[in-house]
Amino acid sequence: MQKNDLLEKDRDLFYSIEHTGPAFYWMVGLLMTILAFALFTYIIQIKFGLGITGLAQPISWGFYIVNFVFFIGISHAGTLISAILRLSKAEWRRPITRMAEVITAIVLAIGGLHPIIDQGQPERILHLVTSGRLQSPLLWDVTSITAYFAASTVYLYLPLIPDIAILRDRGTKPRWLYQFLSWGWQGTERQKKILERAINILMVMVIPIAVSVHTVISYIFAMTIQPGWHSTIFGPYFVAGAIFSGIAALLIVMIAFRKVYHLERYLKEIHFKYLSTLLLIMSLIWFYFTFSEYLTTFYGHEPDEMKVFFYKFTGDFSPYFWIMVICNFIIPVGILSNSKTRNITGIFIASVCVLIGMWLERLIIVVPSLANPRLEYPTGIYIPTLTEWALFAGGVAVFILGFLIFAKYFPLISIWEIEEGRETSISEVAHRLSSYLPDDVEQDEIKKILK
């Protein structure tokens, strides 16, 4: 009886699963159309070759690699943030972790496909298995991204099991799906213990894997001796940028789904305030890394490095470079450090700017170094074609579509963790707090305060 009451309280969380309006189908239809168009252009690319892109010599990497780095970067929103919040016992994490983990799983799948889209001979992808060379940073990537994908999908699935069981018990359709996926969950003490232990192990494991992913992606560039790429700071610089763009993506998703599915009771102002503080900190860290990176280059003033440097600061790429600085630093810091503008609208604007800025940062890292070869070659400019834009749009469409479909079948906010929060976390936090204090607080006193 009591359990049903609790579930009744959380009926908003079942709304997206049990009621599907026409807007949902329109949205899915629209996204499917975009996806179909992207697939169509990709088939043309397979048929005719990469010639239908805007790539050439020497700028032989473009949108596909940029989007690869960008999407994988966003994946750091998820699992990493969720794991860190769980690990640090941040109680406000409860309504956030699920969405964060979903972002990771979807975006990793999209990002992981990009190197294949970029390949001239995609059907030879298995050569990586049959004759892969571990000395190549590309293999490090394959290894690390696969591990991250495996760990983060399991990390998404495990805390989902009790929720799936709730849906099963409610008789939500399709029954076989929840029957199968709930894995026989009955909520016994033993099952809870095992689940908790599994989540704890995974959350510790997933952090180094996540850090390794964007580190080795930066190594693709840093391991070469090309000007603008060969930098020791690239590993942490990429990881910081990834977390930065990840938090921005998470905030956008939270704001959007809060509005669409009326989750205001769960995602409160305070959650956005806390997360946007993180965003502000990451923006400052991003600026610090960017400043260090370019000051070192400028001070050393090596001719080849300076060609790339000026290409970014005053040359062909200067509009993108300065928009990036505005989007990644000036706007977010301006909005988020002022308590008047730090409301949901302000946070939304800042997050969108950060996503644009971080995408530009990936573009600014990939293209200018290729556009300025050391020897004297005529170099054109890189103008992406419709194919590349279509596949970019397709990637974004898959992201939204993935989210919509997930929300159609599973709760976007962890129901059992919210319940657990209601039941146990207040007294747990009270005990924890009292243990920080210099004088011993009696158990009875805590109980008195709680009442």
Q: Is 187 in the site for other proteins (CB under 8 A)?
A: no
Q: Residue from 6, 7, 87, 138 that binds other proteins (CB under 8 A)?
A: 138
147 part of the interface to other proteins, by CB under 8 A: no
State yes or no: residue 300 binds other proteins (CB under 8 A): no
Q: Please tell me what DSSP assigns to residue 442.
A: P
Q: Is 133 in the site for other proteins (CB under 8 A)?
A: yes
Q: Sort 68 into a burial class: Cβ within 10 Å, 0-12 / 13-18 / 19+.
A: buried
32, 320 contact by CB (below 8 A): no
| By the rule CB under 8 A, 199 interacts with other proteins | no
Burial annotation 301-325 (CB, 10 A radius, 16+ → b, else e): eeeebbbbbbbbeeebbeebbeebb
What is the C-alpha separation between 298 and 202, in angstroms, rounded? Answer: 43
301 binds other proteins (CB under 8 A): no
Of these, 34, 69, 100, 118, which contacts other proteins (CB under 8 A)?
Answer: 118
CB of 112 to other proteins, least distance (A): 14
Q: Does 184 bind other proteins (CB under 8 A)?
A: no
Count of residues of this chain found to bind other proteins when the rule CB under 8 A is applied: 44
Please tell me the chain's helix, strand, coil percentages from 3-state DSSP, rounded to the nearest 5.
80, 0, 20
User: In terms of CB distance, is 129 or 437 closer to other proteins?
Assistant: 129
Question: Positive or negative, the Cα torsion across 206, 211, 212, 217?
Answer: positive
Angle between helices 189-222 and 137-157 (to 10 degrees): 160
Residues of span 361-380 touching other proteins by CB under 8 A: 370, 373-380
Shorter beta-carbon distance to other proteins: residue 204 or 381 = 381
Cα separation of 139 and 146, whole Å? Answer: 11
How many whole angstroms separate alpha carbon 67 and alpha carbon 118?
Answer: 10
- From 9, 124, 432, 447, residue interacting with other proteins (rule: CB under 8 A): 124
Q: Which is nearer to other proteins, 67 or 328 (CB)?
A: 67
CB 297 within 8 A of CB 230: no
125 lies in the binding site for other proteins (CB under 8 A): yes
Select 258 or 362, whichever has its Cβ closest to other proteins. 362
Element (H, E) at 332: helix 331-336
- Give least dist CB 293 to other proteins, A: 19
Sort 253 into a burial class: Cβ within 10 Å, 0-12 / 13-18 / 19+.
buried
Binding letters toward other proteins, positions 212-231, x by CB under 8 A: --------x--xxxx-----
23 touching other proteins, by CB under 8 A: no
Judged by CB under 8 A, does residue 159 bind other proteins? no
Closest to other proteins by CB, 224 vs 427, is: 224
Stretch that binds other proteins, among 55-63, 357-365, 396-404, 416-424 (CB under 8 A): 55-63
Q: What residues make contact with other proteins under the rule CB under 8 A? A: 48-51, 55-61, 115, 118-122, 124-125, 127-128, 131-133, 135-139, 142, 220, 223-226, 370, 373-380
